[in-house]
Structure 1
């Protein structure tokens, strides 16, 4: 089940960041452009949307014009070939003009009437010129140790430092800072003389958000917020539930401190969306955390009551079934003796696989032969597999077991139970097959993984258990699928 927590706030927030002025007028002329429809497109985090269109004449002239001012941010002028882009910054100056040549959009660019766009292209022209010089030297096989190369590097650094200092406070500088990597000081050395890589990583991570302005609503209309969130949460954070929750709260608190509702909403939405259907075992609790802390408390503004209802219901189902929780027990009809019940908690094994399925489900039928192979291979290693049919007739169930020769597994029919069970709610079986892996205490160590992932997961998990036991550390249950 996909809750589809989408950009519901996009339509109501897209107009934020508007300054008090009378509309916009952007005149453009592109040399070598012989007519056609041009698009003015705005970023909204990772997405880009058409905002306005204009028809270019035979001389490549066109005008974007509107009665209402544009939200500040990064925009792209998309030329008729739909491949060539000319980037413009929208700030308070929304009446300006530019010219460029399709043969060199950056080098030929000239801006009139917008200070930030002038700065933006002055910077790019200088850097592009130095890069062209560097490439000419490289073509001549000049080594990087050559004085000419070092001089170029020094010129670029000096220009950058001066530019950033002299134009501090401009939107252009703010964008360059937001997109830049943290500058690393010399790292300390380990006793063996090697660089302390852990120190480098921690410094980088601790300073990752230093130059990002959460208080500037225009940042939501750039690609940088999305890019930084993705890198910080996915690449710089250990993918275990506790670590992720700590870091996402850190980021959301930064957004809250910035007091821009669009930025706050996007940060919360992005993180929640990553873990709504978690791709990493043991991280489903992040969705529960985000839902309880931000959605259900009203910190995340949601105008659609059905969205809140869906989130609340999903949390109610998911929370008791998270990794490290004890899987609820149930009595189900035994294949070997229909007069008795098999209980999940009655199986004695170091590891227990629970396979909820439907005898008529295509994916379940594809998985059955693999399940048999795994049982034959892992049974001697203390692994027991229990299948529970949660759909179809008793006859369908028995035919399924015989057809795939699963008699050596613990096969059960779940529609005759000692208590009323709604599998979709009680065991989160919104699709079949649904698989859980339990330890000897019936605690969940993995959930909703594929049959093909069972053996690799158990191999990695057992190795981790052994290593952490040897080191005297608590076991982590998160693992990439």
Structure 2
């Protein structure tokens, strides 16, 4: 059992939108007055939260008495803010009301905080100070639980369970009594989901082993009001979104599709949350190094960008997304690879890739003038020699239109696999066969590597030599044990 995990998470985050409007000329739209006894006459920054990051919003200089005033003629967006000195955060607070004053000192910043003009911040510091107080109680008990005698450990365990229950009761009561305010709703969103025990039959046996997992995922966002963009201007929304997608969802496309559509569906309640959710997911998986995650970009393009629902990208960006989608979709893991029909070095014998009989076929698209190709091609050929007796074959397609360098390299390195190219030496080539493998395989750099199974479905791509060796070794029963859960793609094979 984990004790006080929610307390520690809350404190580590806390301590350390609405439409804006303009004031009339000569009037202030917001004013944040802060007095901190013990601070020098220096420059302070007002920083706002947006998802996982903070951004400087305003600057003010304190006077010799410790007063700092931030003000402006445009209302601040509602959310969580910080007072920052240099690289040090002094304290966090919320801007819901636009005219607020804070007074404290540098010794007990939170416990001595006096707030005027903001019920939201009064509630905020009440909650934080309660958690701090209970955390101080827990520290010596935790030590006894770890270092004490057996009797002391048992007693400490009971005390922790009791305090845990008291804190949970306080959190629930705090929310219920103040849920008309945003801060209590924010605090409630930070609480861990309470998962009930799984159902059991009359004999006491669990009847649904996945009940708690499914319940947790189904109710994970229950404490977030998706119609309220202010959650986006605190750390909590990004924390929950990233955890749900990256931590609580198995990182394979089919599982991710369901989780993504689930949370995006909820985010439609607010235009700003929808925009952030779709953009973050797309950007995160577009940059992923895990093989197969390009399927997520295709899913996002197909279901959100190209449906017309995404209206924040311009026509030029949308055209690029559509072009990338068209190229990427046929090359996803699990798809039958586009066929290639090319001639050998003599430009006489033609090889139809789909008709090559192999239990595993490596499509190796390379160039003899490519520096990286020169380094890995001999290693790939060694791999071919190692596994060819098991039914492994390589379809090595050169991208050079001039065959001289290619033929020389093939001969010099004694490449005995299937060597093909689309040289224009034979003028009938284009007439006889559609030589479009560069477009079909999105060849904008070399080498390009695709591993196909016996049905010519793509099972791996952009895979490093060692990973390919490991994959084939296990596939052919030469190596034993489990391979890595996720294979990272080699960025040099792009």
Scaled by the length of structure 1, what TM-score is found?
Answer: 0.84
Tell me if structure 1 keeps the 8 A contact 2:343–2:351: yes
**Match of residue 441 from structure 2:** 427
Q: Return the offset for 1:183.
A: 0.7
Note the alpha carbon deviations across 1:242-289, whole angstroms, 9 max, x for none.
332222222111111x1x211111111122223325534334333222
Residues 252-263 of structure 1 correspond to what in structure 2 (within 5 A)?
A: 252-256=264-268, 258=269, 260-263=270-273
Residues 67-86 of structure 1 correspond to what in structure 2 (within 5 A)?
A: 67-80=73-86, 82-86=87-91
Q: State how far apart, in whole Å, the 2-side matches of 1:344 and 1:294 are.
A: 35
**Match of residue 33 from structure 2:** 27
Q: Return the offset for 1:208.
A: 0.8
Q: State how far apart, in whole Å, the 1-side matches of 2:143 and 2:312 are.
A: 57
Q: Return the offset for 1:422.
A: 5.0
Q: State how far apart, in whole Å, the 2-side matches of 1:36 and 1:197 are.
A: 59
**Match of residue 468 from structure 1:** none
**Match of residue 314 from structure 1:** 324
Q: State how far apart, in whole Å, the 1-side matches of 2:350 and 2:106 are.
A: 76
**Match of residue 343 from structure 1:** 352
Q: State how far apart, in whole Å, the 2-side matches of 1:119 and 1:144 are.
A: 35
Matched, 1:39 2:45: yes
Q: Return the offset for 1:233.
A: 1.7
Matched, 1:352 2:361: yes
Q: State how far apart, in whole Å, the 2-side matches of 1:353 and 1:343 are.
A: 14
Change (3 A) 1:127 1:192: same
Between 1:165-174 and 1:273-282, the stretch displaced more is: 273-282
Q: Return the offset for 1:189.
A: 5.8
**Match of residue 384 from structure 1:** 393
SS across alignment from 1:251: helix
- Counterpart pick for 1:97 among 80, 97, 101: 101
State how many pairs are aligned. Answer: 449
Q: Return the offset for 1:368.
A: 2.0
**Match of residue 222 from structure 1:** 234
Q: State how far apart, in whole Å, the 2-side matches of 1:394 and 1:151 are.
A: 79
Q: Return the offset for 1:149.
A: 4.2
Change (3 A) 1:188 1:401: farther
Q: Return the offset for 1:211.
A: 1.0
**Match of residue 54 from structure 1:** 60
Q: Return the offset for 1:321.
A: 2.1
SS across alignment from 1:84: strand
Q: State how far apart, in whole Å, the 2-side matches of 1:395 and 1:109 are.
A: 79
Q: State how far apart, in whole Å, the 1-side matches of 2:37 and 2:475 are.
A: 62
Residues 235-246 of structure 1 correspond to what in structure 2 (within 5 A)?
A: 235-246=247-258
- Counterpart pick for 1:134 among 134, 138, 154: 138
Scaled by the length of structure 2, what TM-score is found?
Answer: 0.82
Gaps of 5+ in 2: 1-16, 478-484, 489-494
Q: Return the offset for 1:293.
A: 2.1
Q: State how far apart, in whole Å, the 2-side matches of 1:145 and 1:365 are.
A: 68
Note the alpha carbon deviations across 1:310-354, whole angstroms, 9 max, x for none.
00111121222223322222222314x443233322321001011
Change (3 A) 1:192 1:392: farther
- Counterpart pick for 2:280 among 270, 284, 287: 270
Q: State how far apart, in whole Å, the 2-side matches of 1:355 and 1:192 are.
A: 57
Tell me if structure 2 keeps the 8 A contact 1:107–1:128: no
Change (3 A) 1:460 1:238: farther
**Match of residue 182 from structure 2:** 171
Tell me if structure 1 keeps the 8 A contact 2:298–2:329: yes
Note the alpha carbon deviations across 1:84-138, whole angstroms, 9 max, x for none.
34111121x1111113333443333332211111111111111101111221344
**Match of residue 18 from structure 1:** 20
Tell me if structure 1 keeps the 8 A contact 2:36–2:106: yes
Note the alpha carbon deviations across 1:371-426, whole angstroms, 9 max, x for none.
133213222332212221214742322343355x3513222224445445455532
Matched, 1:180 2:191: yes
- Counterpart pick for 1:411 among 413, 419, 427: 419
Change (3 A) 1:35 1:361: farther
Q: State how far apart, in whole Å, the 2-side matches of 1:359 and 1:106 are.
A: 66
SS across alignment from 2:230: helix
**Match of residue 220 from structure 2:** 208
Gaps of 5+ in 1: 1-14, 464-477
- Counterpart pick for 1:87 among 92, 109, 112: 92
